[in-house]
Amino acid sequence: MKKFSVLFTASAVVIGSYLFLKYFFSFYLQLPIPASLMKTYMFLIVAGTLLALTADDDSARKLTAPFHSLLFDPSLRRSRNAVFFVLPFLGAFITYQSRPKTEAPVEFRTVHPAPPSSMTAFGKTYNLITLRNPYRELEINDPDNFRKAVEEGKAVYYRNCLFCHGDKLRGKGIFFDAFHNPHPANFQAVGTIAQFQESYLFWRISTGGPGLPKEAAPWLSPMPVWKNHLSEDKIWKVILFLYDYTGHRPREVGGNE
Amino acid sequence: MKPTIAFIIFLLALPYSSGAEPSSTQQPQKGKPIYEKLCSGCHGVTGRGDGPAADRLRPRPRNFARGQYKFTYTKFGKLPQDKTLFRWISEGLPGSSMPPWKDVLTEEERWDLVAYIKTFSRKFARAKKKGRVPKPIVIGTAPPSSAEDIREGKELFLQNCAKCHGKEGRGAGPSAPTLKDSQGDRIWPRNLTKGWLYRGGGSPEDIYRTVATGITGTPMPEFMDSLSPEKIWRIVAYVESIRQKKRPPINDVLVSKHMQGDLPSNPCDPAWQSVPSSYIPLAAQVIEGERWFKTTIESVEVRSVYNGAEVAIHVEWADKTQSPLTAPPDKFPQNGLDALAVQLPVKMPLDAEKPYFLGGSSAKPVILWKWTNGGRPEVFLGKGILKMEPLDREHQTLRVAAVYKAGLWKTVFIRSLERPAKNDITIEAGKYLPIAFSAWDGNNGEKDAQRAVSIWYSLLLKPPVKADIYLWPLFVGLLIAVGEMALAIKVKKEKEK
Amino acid sequence: MTLKIKKITVLTALFIFCMNVTATEAAVLHGKISTATAAKQATVRVTKDMEACGKNPIPRENLVRSASGGLKNVVVEIIGAGAAKPGTAVVTQKGCRFEPHVLIMPAGSSLTVKNGDTVSHNFHTYSFENDPVNFIQPKEMKEKKVDGENFEVPEVMEIKCDIHEWMQGWVYVTESGSTALTDADGNFRIENIPSGKYRIRIWHETLGEAEKEINVKKGDNAFNHLFK
């Protein structure tokens, strides 16, 4: 097998990584990487590639060899002239493209902020560290009544949550477009309810958007303050439904890791 | 390596494959658990369209006991073919609450669901007993259409469709406020200009089908016995010519263009045509107070220009009625006022923190410019969605003009950049100003908290273009050229050595 | 086997006994349906196509009471008294109303829909058990026949022209051969009823329906009903 030139390898690594990060994440995983993060990744990849390939003088020379021959090799005169002609225009074009544009100011927002240690709702104070779903124990002790509670939770979901979080619990309800910043949470994704204790959901549902801490931009979230609309009982049941439908398990109090 | 690629291609192709014919082993009993998990929340366990979500959805979910399906390839009211039910389960009904299920269910599961859904109505069994099979209409493919066809199509449209869909196709015809469907609910003629919301699909063949067979359970009648296929295709060609196929992109920044001289204060001023618009989808206010699920105003389109002294915001939206109606129909007597509010913070935000998007709060209030049909524009200090305090009218510099025509409201809000009073906002160019919108359709019974709302967007009064956006690229280009020359000289010298 | 035949015979005898039908002795039932409820409006509000629809006032027909309290357009049906033969019924859209306002139709009959106006209408049946129909009827389409397949199951269905929202009528699809519609003074008359015990159904579009036991004897029988 013919050995590829070092420059070719370097370009292949950089371009390959770029394509992977861009297309695999946005199209296959449906999780596009933000542009700013992409820049950081690409900077690290380019720097890493250069470091690896210039570790000794020999390979460093090989890396720069094509440039050297472009400048000095008489047989490459035409290519040289072409490159010299194109480069200023390319530079000007990139400069023009990177002029300040009208993009929304970047809003840093913690999607899943740390919960407070306690909260008040329904005239009570809850210790969120020890709070448990009162229906959870039925799952083992009384499966019939557990199913009943899940079914009641389902009715609560379809009457209240469906419009934003959608039929498939993926956050794609009919108001997905209108409420796109932030998007409604996708309960099927591994990064949402699967990561939390039920008490976290109880806090998020009861106090809604306005109940978020400042770092989570409470002024943006259309999540209603559900303690104004639903009973404590219904909130616990809808939490049961979310886990039951998605097949996720809530994190246990105290954790198992 | 090769099998992996094949597998990936297979995975990518999965969502696009669709079975046209049922598998031979359709099993209703296998469809039952799928139905009960995925469909019963809206359509109800017994299939009567009475699931827990039903009364909050518009249109209401189908009652399968009726055996009447809106979009079929059979004559109006006739039972559909299995593959038609399969298609709607797979692809969903765009713009309604029915999502596509092909990403969740296998083909076999969807066919089983079709079989199960049919068990809810006696009609399928009766038809089977009598040996009746659904007879689909012949559609063919859309013929190429000339400008002449489109013109003739428009004539036919005006004769046959405009009573409900309106002369401009926005669903604002004289019969629009009086229609109900077979379940007794109010129903609106489609706004044909918003092509991405066609429930029965948006291909020319889909439009043909809907015109030919009507929409079962709704006032949309079948035309196949009174119009020839050629005429229906001409109507399709006309409808195609007025519809925007794709939903406009959503941009979080609304750019206000700088201009010299007076701002166009007439909403119909042709100057507005050249200003790019931003599409802002609205949601029903399902969050606070008296929650509301059935809005009719789907979006607003916003344009803006400014000069040294004032800013003008042009807001346009489709509304099928100009409310209050002079004579509301007996069946639907709701007759509130159409209205629109533009919401801004009280101060330009210094950091990312904004007032609560839904009407502000006492700690961080908002300014609301509210226009109401037939009334004077008002300015409020909003401390919550229902806590609005009118601001001193004497000092207000807000002017609003509004025009309703053919299913479209066009309004222009003009205000001084300088704040008119101490507790109001001074609008500065070059900064991102949070802006949000609320819209009320009076004839839909909307008032107060019951309205359509948007989230926060940013309005940017873009400073006039300066020469430096061209100077910098020129400078960089020259710099590179100079560098190249230096390099060339150096190379030449080295070669000479 | 014999036991089964016996069972069937006994059941049939019992059935005939219960129905108490003697086919030879035909009877007549007549009477008056009245109401205490007064109509709210005499005419409908015409909002469009004034040229074709607005020249003469269109009566509001959902509750028409005579001076003596008689209620018009009530369907009186004797349940199970002979089967109705399917035929052809006619309804006309004329003067932007339906004529007749209430149409009694034997199940399985076809329906001829006529347009006697100078505007286009649509004709829409709001049925549940039967397949609904809804077609556009341009002014040029003077009549159109709708197949009996769309009226094969007994039910009461509203008919509408959705374009002219005030246009409302009713089709009463029935299997009974003994039905009548009350006249302007609330009177009805049903002839050729085999005497016997029946259930009688009285239906009105606004005041609802009632069912009663009735014993129809040979000769003249009277039946009156008051809708509250």
Q: pLDDT, tens digit, for every residue of A14-23?
A: 999 999 888 8
Clarify whether residues B436 and B313 are in a common domain.
Answer: yes
Task: Using alpha carbons, select from C115, C102, C101 the residue that is nearest to residue C52.
Answer: C115
Model confidence at C212: pLDDT above 50: yes
Using CB atoms, pick whichever of A102, A174, A220 lies closest to residue B97: A174
Model confidence at B146: pLDDT above 80: yes
- Provide φ and ψ at B8, rounded to 5°: -65, -45
Mean pLDDT of B178-182: 93
Q: What is the sign of the dihedral through the CA atoms of B28, B34, B35 and B39?
A: negative
Using CB atoms, pick whichever of C135, C164, C165 lies closest to residue B225: C135
Mean pLDDT of B211-230: 96
Mark C81-95 as b/e (b = at least 16 C-beta within 10 Å).
beebeeeebebbbeb
Mean pLDDT of B376-395: 90
List beta partners, residue C79.
C199
Our answer on whether A and C touch (3+ beta-carbon pairs < 8 Å) is no
- Give burial (CB, 10 Å; 0-12/13-18/19+) of A172: middle
Contact B76 C135 (CB under 8 A): yes
Mean pLDDT of B249-262: 94
- Provide φ and ψ at B23, rounded to 5°: -70, 155
Three-state secondary-structure class, residue C6:
helix
Contacts of C134 in chain B (CB under 8 A): 76-77, 214, 216, 219-222
Rounded-to-integer distance, Cα A189 and Cα A187, Å: 5
* pLDDT tens figures, B477-494: 999 999 989 988 888 888
Query: CB pairs under 8 A, 24+ apart, for A92-101?
Result: A92/B473, A92/B474, A92/B476, A92/B477, A92/B480, A93/B473, A94/B476, A95/B472, A95/B473, A95/B475, A95/B476, A95/B477, A96/B469, A96/B470, A96/B472, A96/B473, A99/B469, A99/B472
Clarify whether residues B197 and B323 are in a common domain.
Answer: no
- Give burial (CB, 10 Å; 0-12/13-18/19+) of C28: middle
pLDDT in the model for residue C25? 67
pLDDT in the model for residue B19? 46
pLDDT in the model for residue B466? 74
Task: Using alpha carbons, select from B235, B244, B216, B219 the residue that is nearest to residue B158.
Answer: B235
Contacts of B438 in chain A (CB under 8 A): none
The pLDDT confidence band at residue B16, using thresholds 50, 70 and 90, is: very low
Contact B214 C135 (CB under 8 A): yes
Which 56-75 residues of chain A touch chain B by CB within 8 A? 71-72
Model confidence at C98: pLDDT above 80: yes
- For the record, the structure tokens of A20 come out as 């992977």
Q: What is the mean pLDDT of chain B?
A: 92
Clarify whether residues B109 and B151 are in a common domain.
Answer: no
Query: Is B325 part of any domain?
Result: yes
Contacts of B133 in chain C (CB under 8 A): none
In chain B, % of residues over pLDDT 90 = 81
Shared fold status for C1-48+60-82+176-228 and C85-174? yes
**Domains of chain A listed by start with CATH number:** 6-97 (no CATH), 118-246 (1.10.760)
Chain A: touching chains (3 or more CB pairs < 8 Å) = B
pLDDT in the model for residue A254? 59
Contact B345/B366 with Cβ under 8 angstroms?
Answer: yes
**B212 membership: H or E segment, kind and range:** helix B204-213
Q: Which residue of chain B has the CA closest to C137?
A: B226
My answer on whether omega of the bond before B377 falls inside 30° of 0, hence cis, is no
- Among A167, A205, A234, which would you mutate to test the B interface (most chain B Cβ atoms within 10 Å of its Cβ)? A167
Contact C72/C65 with Cβ under 8 angstroms?
Answer: yes
Model confidence at A1: pLDDT above 50: no
- Among C112, C151, C163, C164, which would you mutate to test the B interface (most chain B Cβ atoms within 10 Å of its Cβ)? C163
Contact A72 B357 (CB under 8 A): no
Contact B182 C126 (CB under 8 A): yes
Domain boundary residue, one of B242, B266, B300 = B242
The pLDDT confidence band at residue C22, using thresholds 50, 70 and 90, is: very low
C16: left (phi over 0), alpha (psi -120 to 50) or beta: alpha
Mark B59-97 as b/e (b = at least 16 C-beta within 10 Å).
bbbbbbbbbbbbbbbbbbbbbbbbbbbbbbbbebbbebb
Distance between A257 CA and the closest CA of chain B, angstroms: 32
Chain C: touching chains (3 or more CB pairs < 8 Å) = B
Model confidence at B109: pLDDT above 90: yes
Domain boundary residue, one of B213, B242, B271 = B242
Q: What is the mean pLDDT of chain C?
A: 90
Q: How do the domains of chain C map onto residue ranges?
A: 1-48+60-82+176-228, 85-174
pLDDT in the model for residue B13? 45
* Whether CATH 2.60.40.10 fits C1-48+60-82+176-228: yes
Cα B314 to chain centroid, rounded: 18
Q: Which residue of chain B has the CA closest to C140?
A: B226
Amino acid symbol at B396: Q
Please tell me the total number of residues recorded for chain C in this structure. Answer: 228
Query: Is B412 part of any domain?
Result: yes
Which of A75-79, A230-234, B443-447 is predicted least confidently? A75-79
For B46, other C-beta atoms within 10 Å of its C-beta total 13
Q: What is the CATH number that goes with domain C85-174?
A: 2.60.40.420
Rounded-to-integer distance, Cα C161 and Cα C96, Å: 9
* pLDDT tens figures, B276-296: 999 999 999 999 999 999 999
Which of A125-134, B14-23, B372-381 is predicted least confidently? B14-23
Domain boundary residue, one of B73, B100, B129 = B129
pLDDT in the model for residue A247? 96
Q: Which residue of chain B has the CA closest to A218?
A: B356
Contact C165 B178 (CB under 8 A): yes
pLDDT in the model for residue B15? 41
Contact C61/C101 with Cβ under 8 angstroms?
Answer: yes
Q: Which residue has the tokens 């013929």?
A: B143
- Among A148, A219, A244, which would you mutate to test the B interface (most chain B Cβ atoms within 10 Å of its Cβ)? A219
Contact A177 B281 (CB under 8 A): yes
* pLDDT tens figures, A178-193: 999 899 999 999 999 9
Contact A87/A71 with Cβ under 8 angstroms?
Answer: no
Asked if C158 has any chain B CB less than 8 Å from its own CB, the reply is: no
Half-sphere exposure of B284 (CA within 13 A, CB side): 22
pLDDT in the model for residue C143? 95
Contact B473 A92 (CB under 8 A): yes
pLDDT in the model for residue C18? 47
Geometric angle at alpha carbon C222, from C221 and C227, rounded to 5°:
145
Rounded-to-integer distance, Cα A144 and Cα B203, Å: 48
Range of the domain at B196: 147-242
Model confidence at C176: pLDDT above 50: yes
Contacts of C140 in chain B (CB under 8 A): 226
Mark A21-56 as b/e (b = at least 16 C-beta within 10 Å).
beeeeeeeeeeebeeeeeeeeeeebeeebeeebbee
Using CB atoms, pick whichever of A102, A105, A178 lies closest to residue B454: A178
Contact B352 A103 (CB under 8 A): no
Rounded-to-integer distance, Cα B481 and Cα C51, Å: 80
Which 157-196 residues of chain A touch chain B by CB within 8 A? 157-159, 162-164, 166-168, 172, 174-175, 177-181
Distance between A220 CA and the closest CA of chain B, angstroms: 6
- For the record, the structure tokens of B266 come out as 């007439």
The pLDDT confidence band at residue B10, using thresholds 50, 70 and 90, is: very low
In chain A, % of residues over pLDDT 90 = 60
pLDDT in the model for residue B460? 94
Clarify whether residues B339 and B230 are in a common domain.
Answer: no
* pLDDT tens figures, B318-360: 999 999 988 888 778 888 999 999 999 998 887 788 999 999 9
Contact B52 A92 (CB under 8 A): no
Query: Is B49 part of any domain?
Result: yes
Query: Is B48 part of any domain?
Result: yes
Clarify whether residues B33 and B110 are in a common domain.
Answer: yes
Distance between B68 CA and the closest CA of chain A, angstroms: 23
Mean pLDDT of C5-10: 57
**B343 membership: H or E segment, kind and range:** strand B339-345
Model confidence at B200: pLDDT above 80: yes
* pLDDT tens figures, B462-472: 988 777 778 88
* Sheet architecture: strand order including C143-146: C97-99, C88-94, C110-115, C143-146
* pLDDT tens figures, B49-77: 999 999 999 899 999 999 999 999 999 99
Clarify whether residues B339 and B225 are in a common domain.
Answer: no
Three-state secondary-structure class, residue A63:
helix
Clarify whether residues B102 and B23 are in a common domain.
Answer: yes
Contact A167 B494 (CB under 8 A): no
The pLDDT confidence band at residue A69, using thresholds 50, 70 and 90, is: confident
pLDDT in the model for residue A257? 39
My answer on whether omega of the bond before C100 falls inside 30° of 0, hence cis, is yes
- How many distinct structural domains can be found in chain B? 4
Q: Which residue of chain A has the CA closest to B36?
A: A151
